Amino acid sequence: MGEAMRHRWLLLGACGWVLLILMFVSKFISFRAVDDYGEMVGAQSWTVPGTKGLKSNPVSSPVKPTPKPSDQPSVVPTVTDWQPVVERRMELLSTVCKNISLGNLTHVAISKFVLDRIFVCDKQKILFCQTPKVGNTQWKKVLIVLNGAFPTVEEIPENLVHDHEKNGLPRLSSLTPQEITHRLSTYFKFFIVRDPFERLISAFKDKFVKNPRFEPWYKHDIAPAIIRKYRKFHRDSDLAASGLHFEDFVRYLGDAEGRHRMDRQFGEHIIHWVTYADLCAPCEIHYSVVGHHETLEQDAPHILKAAGIDQMVSYPAIPPGITRYNRTKVEQYFSGISKRDVRRLYARYQGDFQLFGYPSPDFLLN
């Protein structure tokens, strides 16, 4: 009798703990969407965890925020004449794909790794290749709603956005080869890119400087492995304590041969820094549009229109200035890095620079 009572109390206690832990964990999970663009914008309210700014999303509302003309720098074309910009981009992409001397940087197999990156919206016949740190959570929410599992963006629980077993936004890899081929050849396909070096800085800051607590593997597994191989002087005893330096990260990224084995060990986490070519196979898959993070204000509405869904959804408001390329920041991060290491890094990423029309960073190379 007493024994049974004790068990019941123990069980109750355990449940309490689980609840507490869940509450704690959910606090951190909500950070993900907030920092989806890869930058913290200081005290601006939309980045403050728990504010509803991001969630007051206009999916299923036909009213789109139309910025006043005065909000737009005069050099930036408006949405209506954005089509030529996108066409030029796609022409460049196809030209660079044909350049044989870049072949091993631009051509990749449509492997399971690539099919894992691509999400399927069957209702509207859309494929979306996920590239971290360019506002992807927003696109995923839009597509989840379009697929019909949730009526509005607000009603998607934060922890379900990235749970593709449950959120009704399957990965292309979960379909049969015939289903995959059919969708690749008939659906609207897109992804978003940004300046390759700024992207690497953003990944470094997010994964190794901030060290999010819900992603302990970056600090505890990946950083020590990179330091051990690429930092000249280190003591094994303080590997965990000394954080990854940007210099270590650059050396690892630029080491085309040495990286292979490490990358296999790191698993899916490498999506934050492997090339866009490796993530989305843009020379193998004929994408309809490649959006640029730097011009997301123009690209997002254009993509919705081109995909034929602009009457159903609109992209959540983009915090001003958050997508702008910041050369000062890039110079700061690379100021302590040797020319040799920068050139190696560029050699590894120049496929991405050229495919998507980003100017080579000569101010770092020469």
Which residue ranges make up the site for ligand NAG (CB under 6 A)? 99, 101-102, 104, 256, 326, 328-329, 332, 354
| Chain-centre distance for alpha carbon 219 | 19
DSSP code, position 231: -
In whole angstroms, the minimum distance from the beta carbon of 332 to ligand NAG comes to 5
Q: Which is nearer to ligand NAG, 229 or 329 (CB)?
A: 329
- Token pair for residue 145? 């709603």
Cβ(56)–Cβ(154) below 8 Å: yes
In whole angstroms, the minimum distance from the beta carbon of 21 to ligand NAG comes to 36
DSSP code, position 39: -
Closest CA relative to residue 290, chosen from 357, 197, 198: 357
Q: Which is nearer to ligand NAG, 107 or 231 (CB)?
A: 107
Q: Torsions phi, psi of 133, nearest 5?
A: 70, 30
In whole angstroms, the minimum distance from the beta carbon of 104 to ligand NAG comes to 4
Q: Which is nearer to ligand NAG, 215 or 255 (CB)?
A: 255
In whole angstroms, the minimum distance from the beta carbon of 258 to ligand NAG comes to 11
Q: Is 188 helix (H, G, I), strand (E, B) or coil?
A: strand
Cβ(313)–Cβ(304) below 8 Å: yes
Q: Which is nearer to ligand NAG, 56 or 104 (CB)?
A: 104
Residues 6+ apart with CB under 8 A from 249: 200, 204, 208, 226, 273
Q: What is the CA radius of gyration of the chain?
A: 22
Q: Which residue has the tokens 């934050």?
A: 272
